[in-house]
Amino acid sequence: MPSHIKYYLINIKWNQEIETDYYSWDKYSWFLYQNEHYNEALEASNHSLKIANQYAKLYGETEFITIIDNHGKMIKNKTWNKYR
């Protein structure tokens, strides 16, 4: 089973907090990217960024926004070589 499917089943589908879990969405975008599902990876990354922005408005934490934004750029350019 491809890694992106495993990750989806374990960390996305059954995650009760998925609508506020920007980290899981970002990691999912990595696995999609690694399996050459570039459009889906970008969608997952954009979703992660949206959640992270909402989180930042509530709690003031913005560190992960820059990381997710950079991941989105690397997906678009197909230059994402390692997760972090």
Query: pLDDT grade, residue 56 (50/70/90)?
Result: very high
pTM here is 0.87
CA angle 54, 56, 58 (to 5 degrees): 75
Query: pLDDT grade, residue 52 (50/70/90)?
Result: very high
Q: What is the pLDDT of residue 84?
A: 79
AA letter at 45? S
Q: Confirm if 74 and 27 have CB atoms less than 8 A apart.
A: no
Is a pLDDT exceeding 90 seen at residue 64?
yes
For residues 3-40, b (16+ Cβ closer than 10 Å) or e, as one string? ebeebbeebbeeeeebeebbebbbbbbbbbbeeebeeb
Domain ranges of the chain: 3-77
